[in-house]
Structure 1
């Protein structure tokens, strides 16, 4: 796609996720938990590419190299919903600033940046400076990895895989998850910037075994937990959703614990993101044995002509 060489780190923008993985796969695999979003995103795009699915917005993959050509950072822009945020993993400060300048130079508008701190803050600050905008924090998030699983207090019921007939319920609960998450973190419902898969994508995920329900002793579905397919030996858990009337009964703890146990039994490391403004979910995951790995953030660049929550 393009490469921007400079005295320090230089940037290589690639259009094909396969080319990106060939260039940066070793770097991603060296820190597979930190790399989970970009690695999962690239592998998912390869799967979508094979069946002819094209993202509606920008679609590129970033490799950051040092002067010797060694990969020292990565990123991507392949989100399927506006404002099509960038996602950056750890990289040198000058590279993060360079990403903003590269996009500005080629006229590519970017109104949101997600990923690792401080890279996303530096990139967003430069985007705002170049465009006359202001950086606002949408969400402060944190990546956690499960170390040793601490079993929660057992509750009645069992974990069952979602099937095609569950598509409508999975869709409804996935949408409820993002709006309820805002409310639980003290934001207006729907105020946050979220990427919601459409029903076609959710059906593909159900067919590949990525969603489970916790069912109570009567067999009623009371909770939903998802997990991405492993990339470089790491699977990211989410969404984790319990309807309001079913909360406080231990369904989420037991479902996440069982999904995590199955992942670890298969030799896969488990990780997940939390919203730092949601003390309940942070407390639940800490009790299960999840430990902080990296602070991340979702930032937006607001301008007077844009209404940004």
Structure 2
């Protein structure tokens, strides 16, 4: 489905991630770090399609073109958790507003918007104006890219790749991750409306070799770091989780540094998100050599 607002921009909604990547691939690949969330999920859904896993009918992929046909923005609605917020990459201001009007005309209920600023601000404000409600910030995040890795002070132990035998522990820790992150940022547990990966998703990550534990000197797991498979030459780290009793001992810094070193050795760029309300994690990543790329936000519309 295509919509041409009065701005001259063309908004094209696609149901197939493969078609989306074919149409917007050059645009996404021109800034693969900023595009990491969208490209990672598009490639993941392609893999799931090949396995016969159906995608929800509500999902869509968005390509925004100017009057010359050049792609100037992109986004998606593929979140597996309510209220299924769209995720927007950088786009012209008028495109973000036009998207809000298009969603209203399509009859889609949108009660949250995630992604790059200022697009999400403009889109959420226009949605609230059309449908009523007040825009509130759920979380401010910042995307960082690793330049030259600065090794941290060494900590006892070593990094190991998670195996199927670790699936139960990994599932428990990933379930605790978002709640603990909310508390560390001064929010109530559960304020960030993200659904923890289920056991099947954890097994998928393990089979892909994208989960690692840091083991202390006794061989006990004390930290978990994950990463997405590379997309357009970029791998995004996350989650990064240390149980409360093990924090402050350097496990996270050493695990993230070693995972990052291995990924960079493959010729892949490394990036990750931080919560701007969590000064501890921001300080750790800055010390390792991560530098800010773009600010993003998770916004909700309260009616």
Equivalent residue, structure 1, for 2:152 = 152
Q: TM-score, normalised by structure 2?
A: 0.98
Q: TM-score, normalised by structure 1?
A: 0.96
- Tell whether the 8 Å contact from 1:57 to 1:79 is kept in structure 2 after alignment: no
Is residue 64 of structure 1 aligned with residue 64 of structure 2?
yes
Number of residues paired by the alignment? 302
Equivalent residue, structure 1, for 2:117 = 117
For residues 79 and 57 of structure 1, the distance between their equivalents in structure 2, rounded to whole angstroms, comes to 12
Equivalent residue, structure 1, for 2:222 = 222
Equivalent residue, structure 2, for 1:9 = 9
Q: Secondary structure at 1:91's aligned position in 2? A: coil
For residues 159 and 28 of structure 2, the distance between their equivalents in structure 1, rounded to whole angstroms, comes to 31
Q: Secondary structure at 1:96's aligned position in 2? A: helix
Displacement of 1:197 after TM fit?
A: 2.2
For residues 54 and 136 of structure 1, the distance between their equivalents in structure 2, rounded to whole angstroms, comes to 33
Equivalent residue, structure 1, for 2:236 = 236
For residues 97 and 185 of structure 2, the distance between their equivalents in structure 1, rounded to whole angstroms, comes to 30
* CA offset digits 1:135-163 (Å, max 9, x no partner): 11000000000011000000111110111
Displacement of 1:52 after TM fit?
A: 2.3
For residues 108 and 197 of structure 1, the distance between their equivalents in structure 2, rounded to whole angstroms, comes to 26
Is residue 25 of structure 1 aligned with residue 30 of structure 2?
no
Q: Closer, same or farther in 2 for the Cα pair 1:148/1:207, shift >3 Å?
A: same
For residues 45 and 120 of structure 2, the distance between their equivalents in structure 1, rounded to whole angstroms, comes to 22
For residues 49 and 139 of structure 2, the distance between their equivalents in structure 1, rounded to whole angstroms, comes to 30
Farther off after superposition, 274-283 or 93-102? 93-102
Equivalent residue, structure 2, for 1:188 = 188
Equivalent residue, structure 1, for 2:172 = 172
Displacement of 1:53 after TM fit?
A: 2.0
Q: Secondary structure at 2:262's aligned position in 1? A: helix
- Tell whether the 8 Å contact from 2:175 to 2:197 is kept in structure 1 after alignment: no
Q: Secondary structure at 1:194's aligned position in 2? A: coil
For residues 197 and 68 of structure 1, the distance between their equivalents in structure 2, rounded to whole angstroms, comes to 41
Farther off after superposition, 160-169 or 142-151? 160-169
Question: Any runs of at least 4 consecutive aligned residues in structure 1 with deviations exceeding 3 A, and if so which?
Answer: none
Is residue 47 of structure 1 aligned with residue 50 of structure 2?
no
- Tell whether the 8 Å contact from 1:81 to 1:196 is kept in structure 2 after alignment: no
- Tell whether the 8 Å contact from 1:57 to 1:80 is kept in structure 2 after alignment: no
Unaligned runs of 5+ in 2: none
Unaligned runs of 5+ in 1: 304-309
Displacement of 1:278 after TM fit?
A: 0.2
Q: Closer, same or farther in 2 for the Cα pair 1:110/1:79, shift >3 Å?
A: same
| CA-atom RMSD in angstroms | 0.9
